[in-house]
């Protein structure tokens, strides 16, 4: 597989590789791993949410607002 980067992306990749002492291909491989792990977690969460919705396990709007507000309280 080939990855095509524009000149700016390639320059940034090379700068970072130099700064951390890795090959650009290592950095790209690590980045792809992180993206794939994120996407897998996201897909599992979406599937769980859809299954909950099909079962009727839904939250009322007010409950969602309250939970969000609690997340941002010190």
pLDDT at 74: 83
Give domain status of residue 37, yes or no.
Answer: yes
pLDDT in tens, 8-17: 999 999 999 9
Give domain status of residue 2, yes or no.
Answer: no
Structural domain of 37: 7-71
Give domain status of residue 24, yes or no.
Answer: yes
How many domains does the chain contain in total? 1
Give domain status of residue 52, yes or no.
Answer: yes
17, 23 contact by CB (below 8 A): yes
Give domain status of residue 1, yes or no.
Answer: no
Give domain status of residue 56, yes or no.
Answer: yes
pLDDT in tens, 7-51: 999 999 999 999 999 999 999 999 999 999 999 999 999 999 999
Least Cα distance to 24 among 5, 43, 39 occurs for: 5
For 46-60, what is the mean pLDDT? 95
Give me the residue label for tokens 């010190």: 74
pLDDT at 61: 94
Rounded CA separation 12/61 (Å): 44
């Amino acid at each position: 597989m080939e990855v095509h980067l524009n000149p700016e992306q390639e320059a940034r990749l090379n700068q970072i590789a130099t700064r951390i002492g890795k090959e650009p291909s290592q950095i790209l491989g690590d980045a792809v791993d992180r993206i794939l792990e994120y996407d897998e977690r996201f897909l599992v969460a979406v599937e769980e949410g859809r299954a909950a919705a099909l079962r009727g396990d839904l939250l009322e709007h007010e409950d969602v607002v309250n939970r969000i507000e609690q997340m941002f309280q010190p």
